[in-house]
Chains A and B, each alone.
Chain A
Amino acid sequence: MKTRKPPSSWRNTRLAASLKLVRPARMLLLSFLFLSQSLVAQVLPEDQHDAEVLARTYKEDPVICQSSYHFFTFDKGTNSLKDKVVVIQEEAELEFLALKKYGALTYPEFYNKFIQLKQFKKSVKIGKSFVTSSKAGIDRSVSDENIFFDDSRVQYYPLRFADKGNMARITVKKEYSDAKYLTRLFFHQPYPVTEQVFEFKVPDWLTIDFKPYNFEGHKIEKKVTQKGGYTNYVFILKNLPASKNEFKQIGRAFTDPHLVIQVKSFESKGESLQGFDKTADVFKWNNRLYNMAGNEAEKLKPVLAKIIAGQKTDEEKIREIYYWVQDKIRYIAYEDGYSGYIPSSAQAVLTNKYGDCKGMANLLTEFLKLAGYNAHFTWIGTRQIPYPQSLPALCVNNHAITTLYFGGKEYFLDPTEKYVPFGENAYRIQGKEAMVANGDKFDIKKVPITTGNDHKVLTKADFTLTNQLLKGEIKVTLTGNERKDFHQIYQDLPISSQEKFLKGFLEFNNNNVEASGVKTSDLKNREIPVTITGNIDLSNYVQLISKDQFINLDFFPKTLESYLPDEKRVRGYDFDYVLSFEDEFSLTIPATQKFADVPEKLELNYEGYAFKGEYVVAGNKIVLKKYLLLKNSVIPKTEFDNWKKFLESIRVFSTYFFSVTAK
């Protein structure tokens, strides 16, 4: 587990193998270069034939991996902590075939301090043989932009093909210095694969399990053979389409078939050594690294005393401590080698005033403990990870928080999530099981989930119509994550831009809205709903045609158009939030006028989302009431037909005008 702060827009930042066509004019020259230098581009008839056949199936893909074979063997070794561990050697060979002229892809191999890249070669097929390039793969860091420093690196080869039917081969040798860090293997790749094979030659001294995930619906062949003190496990999946990243997609681990590798135990010199057989084994490992932080609680005392000075009740003290860590500790992460797993000491985080999620959770836990509260360091996986804590593997957790037992309740405190009030939890950990340290033991606790109604944007505006201008007062109220998100943006703005931001907030990015007299609730208080009020003028909203005035009162439509899937979309959506919008806009017109062409109401109810919108006329006042609820953060692909109808109906409703005519 590398614990790190999952940003609100959590995404996999691994360098995906990218498929592309190279620039045409340049490629044209390149093709002549091939011709003039040698017949590198000459294609064997059988390869040409294969490419022709496969190109009909994989129309969008320029390159296919015809065979991808990964062979894993197991040895015994010692890690840098002097533990006896299982070492894994991986040998892989992949053959790529161009399905298009000038097809190209970039093949990456990732490595770090625990995973060494021992050999990485590219060969190109010339005639019937593969000729190995003397050039090494291009090497660079792939640190996530949110990580200050880590050891994640990649080597990659660009594979460029002059002709359909050209072939290249990649060979890889990797060593996992500790089997814990080979956590899972996905079958699908960013390119299509004709045959994906994972073979494990497991010696008798090793007890290992290969846990299948999302195998349903896929014809994954599993073969088990035994010979000479080894058991061979082979997993084969054929004809895999390319796995492409999509906007706000559901995490791959929820949908794509993969294996979780679990080294349960092994024997060494007659001794049986424990791997990850039970959840307790994972806890033991995590807790051992946690205890290596080297906390010296005494050094926290002076600062703690200042933080809680003047606070009377326990809850006040806890809040002050929690908010102090949120506000004063910047998120800066060092994640190289074991630094990715061992928290910085609480006193180091305090001195530096920066740390990663482990460091912040460690400091917060120590502060709370020192103040006399029942706080515990806790490991947890964010919502992008589907595994329960019952799965004994490092891939279950990717984050660290503090669990506090107080007043008969459990609180899951995440100090990386700035401006969250005490008692509310970040959405990204809701519904997830937390592994809570308790000395040498642990507890599994579930973070409660919230509903869309807990995270609301409530907008109320009252307009009057005067000389074709809509003028009025507006009030926006934000609760839950919407309030937290607001604070995270607002509090990090340059102070010189904050006033403009608030004005822009009331103008809803609508260029025809002009806000003035903007006032807010106490924005230093993260616990109360954020309210922003002001006067607004709406220009260009009234169409005066043949003495009648046509008005669209829905000046802030929630069309959610960016979430309308196109026909190519493969995966469902995961918004990573739930929320609700509630709007009430009224318009008062002169008593000499009346409303006409009033739109009909719209009510939509689906399992994961709902909408209600209606115009209500009372005398010379019309009120638009709208309510949009996202109950689930996930829209599976099977739901797309309903989802599209839902979005289209809301879009149409938001376009309606009504008219104001003389009585």
Chain B
Amino acid sequence: MKIFIPRKAIPVSCMVLLLAFSTGAFSQSYIDEDFLEILEKNASFLLKERPSAFANNTVPDKWNKESAVILDFSRNILFDKKNSGGFFTRRERSLYFFEKNRLKIQLNDNNAVKAFSEIYFRYGSKEDGFIARVIKPGDTATTIDLKNAVGIEQNSDIPEFFSSFFDRVAGSNYQYYKVPIANLEPGDILEYVAVTKSKLDVSMSGYIEFSPIYEVCSKKYPIMHNEIIIETDDKSYFKSLSLNGAPSFKKESTSEKGFFRYVFSDKNREVEKDINFVSPLLQYPLVKFQVIYSNNDEVKGAFIGDKGELKSNFAREELALKAWEDYEKVGDLYIDRGVTVQAFINECWKELTKLGAKSMSDQDFINTVYYQFRNKVVFRSNYLSDKVFAYIFGSLLFQKNIKSEVIISIGNSTGKLNDILFEEEIRYVIRIDKKLYYNITDFSNPGELEESLLDNEAYIITAPEKKTKKQDIKPYSLPGTTAADNSLVTTILTELTPDMKSLKVARNSAYTGIQKSRVSSRVLGLTPYMFDDYRNYGGADPTEKMKSKEAEEYNKSVSTIKEEYAKKKPETVKDALSEEFSQRVTNVSFKVISDGRTQKKNTLSFNEGFELPDFVRRAGKKYLVNLAGLTGSQLRITPEERDRKNDIDVRYPRMLKWNIDFKIPAGYTAEGLAELNKSVDNETGTFTITAKQEKNLVQISIQKVYKMKSVPKERWKDMLSYIDAAYNSTFKYILLTPTK
């Protein structure tokens, strides 16, 4: 949830002060007996409101073999500034949330009984209510006694089925309790009804965006009826979009003037079963929605519908305007405690001028800004959003009159450009001439692509005209990549250890593109890349400005950290190798050759040495060596996954190569090379393995290529052909036969 106060942005921490929550004892203790009667009294009316879905006790036969089946899951949330449900005051300071939730689930086995053995409910305000009941087959409902309920610790996770909507979107701290369900057995139906009243002090804030909700229709169990009802007064706005075949929210009439009602209803939803290459938000039926409170139309700004409108999409003009408005506000945000983004930019510019920014060529300046900015990011505990990145980067370039363009898009695992519904979904990229600059990480270089923005539709936007608010909006396609751009080339020199019991491996791995982005954090973790990072932009050694005592302290700190890294890195490398080869590895060494963090040397390259005992097998006096297995574990598709329901999202095309040189031990000949050769190639991908002998070396070349980013499910068989070939090849051995 984000709260805005007109004029200046406020630090997020102030938000807590605005939340006027009723609090209980935030520790484990028995529930106060006085609460029990109130809980029942407050919720009892909801039991009388029995919609047909909740009255149903019958599960379709097709789901008899499921662990549990949800008969009804219903959430009804009323956003009410008028406090129509309680005492009304003219100068009401709070926004009230009245929720009515109900769940009914049939538990078919021990597993489900265990999962619902303990249930949770809220008692954080005196209007909260809860009743849970168990219905035995052919019997009437028995109410669960809540007297054995105990309060749960603050910040404990509340399971999805029991958490109030408000607590999810507002991150609040109302007191929850848990209670074991007496006499619960397989075959029973468990049902509960819950009402909660939450309030939020909005006297200081004119505009609140509650966290967006992505409701994936399929759950852990099949669900017969899933309903969400949002009711708002005329101070709140609602937007929602259904995707991938999910039903939509429908606007319904209400009897009360000034209130609006939106209803989502989904029926007979199966459990999703695909495992690999799935992007749930892009492929599974889902509805996303958000409620926004705004106390006057001027404050509400763009990207919200009109009062009472069920907004489900935005014209590109609305999107562009919202994106630009948000972008412009970044300067007033705090980047660190007490430091605004603008102050940060000023400091950076000051340093850049000292570095001779004014006399630099434009390209040198752009690179210097990038690496200077990256140096600041390296020492942060979290990365910046790409909106903040774009603002700072663009602003610094502007100091030297370098014009940059702002590009907006959406993450490619979140949705399509036309489906942007929330501010949080808008992604930012900076373009200078034809070159794109994506958000900075510890390991990125100028112009390097970002996996979540590959191949996306986008808009180039400009500042709106002051009077007309008109903007230039140009459609733009963010670039994709080819498999060759995202490569891993592994060069392996290997031989048997003198005792012929293990395989001794010297391996160089070179990563580029998205492949590099994916592994840099793991590979360069516990290496001291950050300490000399200032050199990349020509910055001064941090100790230069320090007094001698400070410099001494700094140097001691750095050397301590380096020592600690040097000690811990081999352990993490050993663990990673053991996982890669599914066996214990020994004699591990590691050395970074190039960290891939400069434009000149943008390949991440490192050497590892290790020994693998299980790659050498004996057969009498002969030895079998699993050289093809040096690719590490390869993806296996299980029989259940071979029948695919969804299209395939490979994320990005990529090329993996292994060049293996094996030294044949003296006194042995190598056989079985021809048996290794295999080649599979189609439009979706490739797997090839070739083996030959050159003098006393066995040379094996292996290549696996995922050619496409997205593959239609009809071509799953094509993918399986090379995925299976790669998997099966890892079990191939060569034979070493003694010459005498």
By a beta-carbon cutoff of 8 Å, the part of chain A in contact with chain B is 21, 23-29, 31-32, 35, 41, 100-102, 140-141, 143, 148-151, 163, 328, 330, 332, 334, 336, 351-354, 491-497, 500, 511-512, 514, 539-541, 543-546, 550, 552, 561, 564, 596-599, 651-652, 655-659
**Residue on B with the closest CB to A541?**
B731
- Chain A residue nearest in CB terms to B378: A25
CB of B66 within 8 A of CB of A495, answer yes
B183 lies within 8 A of chain A by Cβ:
yes
Question: Are A28 and B561 touching (Cβ within 8 A)?
Answer: yes
**Shortest CB distance B545–A (Å):** 12
List B contacts of A511 (CB < 8 A). Answer: 636, 727
Task: Please tell me if the beta carbons of A27 and B557 are within 8 angstroms of each other in the complex.
Answer: yes
Q: Is the CB–CB distance between A141 and B111 below 8 Å? A: no
B611 to chain A, nearest CB (A): 14
Which of B561, B613, B671, B733 gathers most chain A CB within 10 Å? B561
Is there contact, CB below 8 Å, between A354 and B150? no
Contact of A539 among B27, B620, B728 (CB under 8 A): B728
Chain A residues whose CB sits within 8 angstroms of the CB of B561 once the complex forms: 24, 27-28, 102
Contacts of B639 in A (CB 8 A): 514
| A31, B614: Cα distance in complex, Å | 47
Known: A148-B180, A352-B180. A550 touches B619 (CB 8 A): yes
Given A511-B636, A514-B639, A597-B622, also A353-B557 (CB < 8 A): no
Query: How far does the Cβ of A90 sit from chain B's closest Cβ, in whole Å?
Result: 23
Having A32-B553, A141-B28, A491-B110, one finds 4 other A-B pairs with CB under 8 Å, namely: A353-B184, A511-B636, A543-B735, A657-B617
Q: How far is the CA of A653 from the CA of B617 in the complex (A)?
A: 10
For B528, the closest partner residue in chain A by CB is: A24
B89-113 CB contact bits vs A (8 Å, 1 = yes)? 0000000000000000000111111
Bound together, the chains give a CA A21 to CA B178 distance in angstroms of 36
Q: Say yes or no: A651 contacts B613, CB within 8 Å.
A: yes
Report the separation of the CA atoms of residues A493 and B184 in the bound assembly, to the nearest whole angstrom.
17
Given A141-B27, A597-B620, also A25-B111 (CB < 8 A): no
Q: Lowest 8 CB-CB distances: which A-B pairs, in order?
A: A597-B620, A494-B67, A545-B672, A540-B731, A657-B619, A101-B560, A352-B182, A597-B619
Does B434 sit at the interface, judged by CB under 8 A? no
Which of A25, A29, A493, A561: most chain B Cβ within 10 A?
A: A25
Tell which of B583, B620, B735 touches A546, judged by Cβ atoms closer than 8 Å: B735
Nearest A residue to B673, CB-CB: A545
> Which of B28, B66, B148, B379 contacts A496 (CB under 8 A)?
B66
Determine if A353 and B185 form an interchain contact, defined as CB atoms under 8 angstroms apart.
yes
On chain A, the residues within 8 Å of B178 by CB distance are 148
The residue of chain A having its C-beta at the shortest distance from the C-beta of B113 within the complex is A330
A-B contact pairs, 8 of them (CB 8 A): A28-B557, A29-B379, A141-B28, A352-B183, A495-B65, A543-B732, A544-B675, A657-B619
Which chain A residue shows the least CB distance to B110?
A492
Chain B 710-740 per-residue mask, 1 if CB under 8 angstroms from chain A, else 0: 0000000000000000011001111100000
B544 to chain A, nearest CB (A): 15
Does B160 sit within 8 A of A, measured CB to CB?
no
Tell whether B640 is near chain A: CB-to-CB under 8 Å: yes
A539 to B501 alpha-carbon distance, docked (Å) = 25
Name which of A150, A328, A546 has the most chain B CB atoms within 10 A of its CB.
A546
Report if A492-B114 is in contact (Cβ < 8 Å); known contacts: A25-B378, A29-B379, A543-B735.
Answer: yes
Is B733 touching A550 in the complex (CB atoms < 8 A)? yes
Q: Are A332 and B117 in contact (CB under 8 A)?
A: yes
Q: How far is the CB of A513 from chain B (nearest CB, A)?
A: 12
B556: CB under 8 A from chain A? Answer: yes
How far, in whole Å, are A149 and B583 apart by their CA atoms in the complex? Answer: 40
Q: How far is the CB of A568 from chain B (nearest CB, A)?
A: 10
Point out the residues of chain A lying under 8 angstroms from B381, CB to CB. Answer: 23, 25-26
Q: Which of A100, A332, A539, A561 contacts B560 (CB 8 A)?
A: A100
Q: Tell me, in angstroms, the Cα distance from A77 to B208 when the chains sit together.
A: 57
Q: Is the CB of A546 within 8 A of B66?
A: no
A residues less than 8 Å from B455 (CB atoms): none
CA distance A354 to B620 in the complex (A): 60
A657 lies within 8 A of B379 (CB): no
Given contacts A140-B153, A514-B639, A543-B672, contact A655 B117 (CB under 8 A): no
**Chain A residues with CB below 8 A from B530, complex form:** 24-25
Most A CB atoms within 10 A — which of B67, B378, B560, B619?
Answer: B619
Contact B28 A143 (CB under 8 A): yes
A491-B110, A514-B639 known; A496 vs B65 contact (CB < 8 Å):
yes
Q: Are A334 and B557 in contact (CB under 8 A)?
A: no
Whether, in the assembled complex, B33 has its beta carbon less than 8 Å from a beta carbon of chain A, the answer is no
Q: Does B564 contact A (CB under 8 A)?
A: yes
Closest chain A CB from B573 CB (angstroms): 15
Residues of A within 8 A of B65 (CB): 495-496
- Bound complex: CA of A78 vs CA of B586, how far in Å? 61
B379 touches A28 (CB 8 A): yes
**B550 CB within 8 Å of chain A:** yes
Question: Closest residue to A41 on the B side, CB-wise?
Answer: B553
Q: A143-B28, A544-B675, A656-B619 known; A334 and B117 CB under 8 Å?
A: no
Of the listed residues A24, A102, A151, the one surrounded by the most CB atoms of chain B closer than 10 A to its CB is A24
The smallest beta-carbon distance between A19 and chain B, in angstroms, is 13
Is B535 interfacial (CB 8 A cutoff)? no
| CB of B584 closer than 8 Å to a CB of A | yes
Are A330 and B114 closer than 8 Å at their CB atoms? yes
Q: Specify which chain A residues have a CB less than 8 angstroms from the CB of B183 in the assembled complex.
A: 351-353
Q: Known contacts A25-B378, A545-B735, A657-B619; is A354 also within 8 Å of B117 by CB?
A: yes
Query: Whole-angstrom distance between the alpha carbons of A659 and B184 in the complex?
Result: 58
Which residues of the partner chain B approach A491 to less than 8 Å between Cβ atoms?
Answer: 110
A562 to B, closest residue via Cβ? B584
The 0/1 profile, CB within 8 Å of A marked 1, for residues 613-650 of chain B is 11011111110100000000000100110000000000
Q: Which residues of A contact B620 (CB under 8 A)?
A: 596-599, 658-659
- Inter-chain CA distance A196–B698, complex, in Å, is 62
- B180 cross-chain contacts in A, Cβ below 8 A: 148, 330, 332, 352, 354
| B618 close to A101 (CB less than 8 A) | no
- In the complex, the chain A residue whose C-beta lies closest to that of B148 is A334
Contacts of A330 in B (CB 8 A): 113-114, 117, 180, 184
Among candidates B111, B112, B182, residue contacting A351 with C-beta atoms closer than 8 Å:
B182
Name the B residues within 8 Å of A493 (CB-CB). 109, 111
CB-CB nearest in chain B for A24 = B561
Chain B 549-576, CB within 8 Å of chain A: the 1/0 string?
A: 1100110111011001100000000000
Q: Of residues A29, A101, A328, A334, which shows the largest number of chain B Cβ atoms within 10 Å of its Cβ? A: A101
Shortest CB distance B287–A (Å): 26
Select one of A149, A514, A541, A552 contacting B28, CB under 8 A. A149
Q: Closest residue to B671 on the A side, CB-wise?
A: A546
Residue of B153, B557, B564, B734 most packed against chain A (CB within 10 A): B557
A655 and B618 in contact, given A35-B549, A550-B733 (Cβ under 8 angstroms): yes
Minimum CB–CB distance from B696 to chain A (whole Å) comes to 19
Give bound CA distance, A657 to B114, whole Å. Answer: 46
Is the beta-carbon distance between A149 and B150 smaller than 8 angstroms? Answer: yes
Residue of A nearest to B735 (CB): A545
Q: Which residue from chain A places its CB closest to the CB of B550 in the assembled complex?
A: A35
Residue in A495, A496, A512, A561 whose beta carbon sits within 8 Å of that of B584 in the complex? A561
A657 CA to B623 CA, complexed, in Å = 9
Partner of B672, one of A512, A546, A598, A658: A546
- Distance between Cα atoms of A87 and B565 in the complex (Å): 49
Q: Return the contact of A512 from the options B556, B614, B731 (Cβ within 8 A).
A: B731
B504-549, CB < 8 A from A: 530, 549
Contacts of A31 in B (CB 8 A): 553-554, 557
Which of B66, B117, B624, B636 is within 8 Å of A657, CB to CB?
B624
Which residues of the other chain, A, contact B557 by a CB distance below 8 angstroms? 27-28, 31, 101-102
Asked if residues B671 and A550 are in contact (CB atoms below 8 Å), the reply is no
Q: Do the beta carbons of B733 and A543 come within 8 Å of each other?
A: yes
Give the shortest distance, in Å, between B695 (CB) and chain A (any CB): 20
Q: Which residues of chain A are within 8 angstroms of B113 by Cβ–Cβ distance? A: 330
Complex: chain A residue closest to B28, CB-CB? A141
